[in-house]
Chains A and B, each alone.
Chain A
């Protein structure tokens, strides 16, 4: 199983995603520089967190034009699992691979802390090993994680089961108090229509070892290793395309 960790200028969670995939999960992992046009035969693509291009203009707004994004888009179109974490999520929004946009956190401050999210959907490659309703403790670290979309988009996301993670309290209730940034419907993560592209603001890669305070993020990586294994088994033609 091979993870590609895309590195944009200003990415800063690239090493963390690589560490989780390679050293915690024991999978193959490679950095892919944003100027590359190929993903090097990867089975899973991670767009890591950070401040790509300094977050200048708008978060993710410049990164979407990087040469590698054409390969990421094609990989996603063919059903390959793609996860955007934090800034990676913002890039997926800007690239149109996921709907909606990010506003500044409602208190206009950066937040770094552990929050709880509820797993809403298990039929994505990144949540297949989780339980529906499972509560995960994951760190957030962002200033613009206030998810926003027009009412139709929100309705579509909700009715088609594409809200994958929701901020919640200890009992699993998606309360306003448990919402760290003001995101609509307490949305912490969503997926695309084909369900293979997932974006989320919390950092599962920071929660893969209990010594760091939580290992709840592991389930996302374990899920995709399982899912990509199945894909690889059934889809030799797909892998050959890269």
Chain B
């Protein structure tokens, strides 16, 4: 074995002082295998060393929280003795290298996190960010989009979990660093959540699933005397997903969990066998001893180092009760899976790895976990913020007429219908989907109960770039508002924090501001964070992405028959705008699309008003006062209203909205993105009750018009600003995205 020198440490991504820490914790020099184990467990990805001190600021408890951060996924009580188990995770970097497999294995990973908790996964969502579809990097971006979408479809469709929604935005900021954040939700018995801990001395440790190969051993940790340049070339940087294998694992694990033979289980995601063995031992206050020669292997001649660090997909680690081995093995045999006994639980609190009986690593849990570095990295307010804080309003005078601008916005990829995408996702399998993809928040019923669950993932990187703290708050507010628009009470959230290099104080400042903003918003809206993921180092050539916190919010609808979607339902319903319009065009989609500017301050957020709006929507839906509800966000009121008319079979409307004084008042009224707003439609006979409820809850509500006809007619202060057939506008909106891919095969 080669000596441990600076170059070797560098290739393992370890700093010299971190190495000193390892030596101190072990009270000796590590072996190469041990060095590999430390390097992955102390990586940013596994240890959260840069984010941990700040993540502690997030509220993670509440009366409904059954499981907060720390396990494979969070869980909240949804009534009827059931729990919603959910989490969001990133798979950004792999998806850029190899879009199909990167995205597919991201989906596979998040599904494993959910069924590992003993939950049957019933819904998937995703938040995607790509560069511009045209321009210099357009061709590459289009290929990336096609690959990512096909990968998500390929995995989710095959395993039979509906992809019920999500969102996609396009901006140059993501051209060399797309974001693929995947969310999964499952249902478990509230009293039967399964933990990822190892306990019970002598209990056998089983390995189940795909065989271990050399795939996914991270480039940074590939340094070893045993490797040569040629073997490195054979090693794919991104793992390959096998949804069929995962489907078998899913069914077999859920079947096993219905017995009481299982002690604990963890999937092998990042850092594979290393992470699962050390975390299970650590959580259970025990030790795990395994022999890597008993690990099923796909290739010959693999070293202990490689086996411990492999990130081959679709693998699970289980601890089962001693004496129940035959029963466990029979369940896996039924599913044509082989469960290999690779070791035992010990009482000594040590992770011990043997290779054919010879000890190659022996690390106390406390050395790996307790001694892990935690950094409170320096922060500095980025200088760019002063440059972009305001925009010159004179640009607004040169913009096209309202209707032309509106049609341009409807055709912009971020605003346009995502039908081209979600049509590729099976969003109906399991026959629970109450709100079809593209029609609002994702809503699935919970069979065997009267309830349904609504979910939404949101985040606006442009907002967060221009105002990190408020951007994160607005992300939570929008996701919660979306869920409330479906008629659901938001009860829990999960976050995926996508940022640049935390070693740069400006990035760290963005991160800290965003986390603190998120924490404030969670408290104000009473929505705890039950887990999530941090993705740092999202940079290419020193250029960081927009800081992009993506927030997934889950809500419960007590009576599934009160579920709402975004579309107007019939002729003659009253249309009501909830909330106030301050005409805020800073950071807006309009300013970007029409003026090419990413400047100004994102909309102000009054969390008290947001809370009132959410309370109103939930109650009004429950009392069946509303016909439809749609959140007002990207593109402002005129886009929101139009979306209420799309997918209705051509049902139009006529409204007159209040103007905003001063220059460009019409644009501000139509396209401003003021927060805490929604458009609802109401049967005329229900309008008085609805208005009374709004008044009682302190929510501004203005009746602006009625549904009917086949045209979209929007006036501002009595002057017609937009008059267009639903069909024409809808054609523009529906087909805009697909046109970028027309004639291209997958």
Contacts and interface: CB of A to CB of B under 8 A. Distances in A.
Contacts, number: 89
Interface stretch (B47-55, B69-77, B240-248): B240-248
B731 interface: no
Nearest to B160: A12
A79 interface: no
Given A211-B561, A212-B433, A110 B244 contact: no
A87 B200 CA distance: 44
A9 interface: yes
B460 to A, nearest CB: 28
A56 B242 CA distance: 10
A50 B160 contact: yes
A9 B335 contact: yes
Interface in A193-232: 203, 205-206, 208-209, 211-213
B507 interface: no
A54 interface: yes
B158 A54 contact: yes
B244 A9 contact: yes
Nearest to A17: B431
Nearest to B560: A211
Interface in B475-519: none
Nearest to A139: B428
B426 A53 contact: no
Interface string B413-436: 000000000111111111101101
A205 B429 CA distance: 10
Given A110-B153, A206-B431, A51 B244 contact: yes
B427 A112 contact: yes
A111 B430 contact: no
A58 interface: no
A122 B242 CA distance: 41
A9 B429 contact: no
A66 B423 CA distance: 32
B548 to A, nearest CB: 28
A16 interface: yes
A13 B244 contact: no
A185 interface: no
B424 to A, nearest CB: 5
B243 A112 contact: no
Nearest to B242: A54
A71 interface: no
A109 interface: yes
Contacts of A16: 429-431
A208 B431 CA distance: 9
B158 A212 contact: no
A208 B160 CA distance: 19
A63 to B, nearest CB: 12
Given A9-B244, A56-B244, A110 B431 contact: no
B704 interface: no
Contacts of A208: 431
A19 interface: yes
A113 interface: yes
Given A12-B159, A211-B560, A212-B434, A110 B426 contact: yes
B570 interface: no
B157 interface: yes
Contacts of A213: 436
Interface in B433-487: 433-434, 436, 445, 447
A10 interface: yes
B659 to A, nearest CB: 39
B431 A112 contact: no
A185 B575 CA distance: 45
- Chain A interface size, as a band, is 35 or more
B21 to A, nearest CB: 45
A108 interface: yes
A73 B426 CA distance: 30
Interface string A1-40: 0000000011011011001100000000000010100000
A111 B429 contact: no
B696 interface: no
Contacts of A108: 745-746
Given A108-B745, A213-B436, A141 B157 contact: yes
B336 interface: yes
| Most A-side CB within 10 Å, residue of B157, B425, B426, B433 | B426
A157 B170 CA distance: 48
Contacts of B242: 54
A109 B247 contact: no
Interface string B592-627: 000000000000000000000000000000000000
A114 to B, nearest CB: 8
Most B Cβ at <10 Å: residue of A13, A112, A143, A212: A112
B428 A109 contact: no
A13 B429 contact: yes
B431 A19 contact: yes
A212 B431 contact: yes
Contacts of B160: 12-13, 50-51
Contact of B423 (A19, A55, A111): A111
Interface in B147-163: 150, 153, 157-160
A33 to B, nearest CB: 8
The list of the 4 closest CB pairs from A to B, nearest first, reads A12-B160, A54-B244, A51-B158, A141-B426
Given A54-B243, A206-B431, 11 more contacts: A9-B336, A12-B158, A12-B160, A35-B334, A54-B244, A54-B247, A55-B158, A141-B429, A143-B157, A206-B429, A213-B436
Interface of B: 150, 153, 157-160, 242-245, 247-248, 334-336, 422-431, 433-434, 436, 445, 447, 560-561, 745-746
6 contacts: A53-B244, A54-B247, A55-B158, A109-B150, A109-B746, A206-B428
Interface of A: 9-10, 12-13, 15-16, 19-20, 33, 35, 49-51, 53-56, 107-113, 139, 141, 143, 203, 205-206, 208-209, 211-213
